[in-house]
A and B are shown apart, each in its own frame.
Chain A
């Protein structure tokens, strides 16, 4: 067997390698251009009490986790226990953005399953969601003391991502 007959085999192996890597990628994970950019400003009503407002400005000087969710979002239920655990550990403030929801439904879900959030902003028409590039709820952002987005997670946070990526990142940012 000479080197020439090996060429197709090598080409095939390279192609198979590319395809194998491609299979493992999640097409829903689109790299966000918002990472390392200041968190978009907004000032909207809170879920409860409805006459209070929330703005990311209020969180200046703190590292916080911003979680976009909704009562109609099935994957959010899967993520809910992870967030409850995060709230219990008191690592950092957890702010929710109730995305395109009905107040009544959202409050009902929180009453039934527990409320992990310190504050929930109520984004009825999804405008804030658009500014944050939300396209699949749940999505989560780690925002640092200066109000810069340092990490974005798309889809439900698993226990593993929470413990291995998000919490260490928050602790690192808190020290700096």
Chain B
């Protein structure tokens, strides 16, 4: 058994989400902040709301959904945005045990 770090959304059900022609505004009542997200940013939140996922899982899933090349640069961008989401209190890290 080993532990793996997953991301999951915080208070997803409380978020007020509006779509504006493939762009999204997301009101976060807890902080009183309104966020503007593009499609990929929103997709990360929506995917995590369906099931927590590791950084690698998220990168793979996004690369497949958006038909992008999964390289180190792309992964770095995803890691940056995940950390930003974390700072904003939109998502959090959880550790889960997984069987090897």
Q: Do they bind each other? A: no
Give chain A's interface residues, CB within 8 Å of chain B: none
Give chain B's interface residues, CB within 8 Å of chain A: none
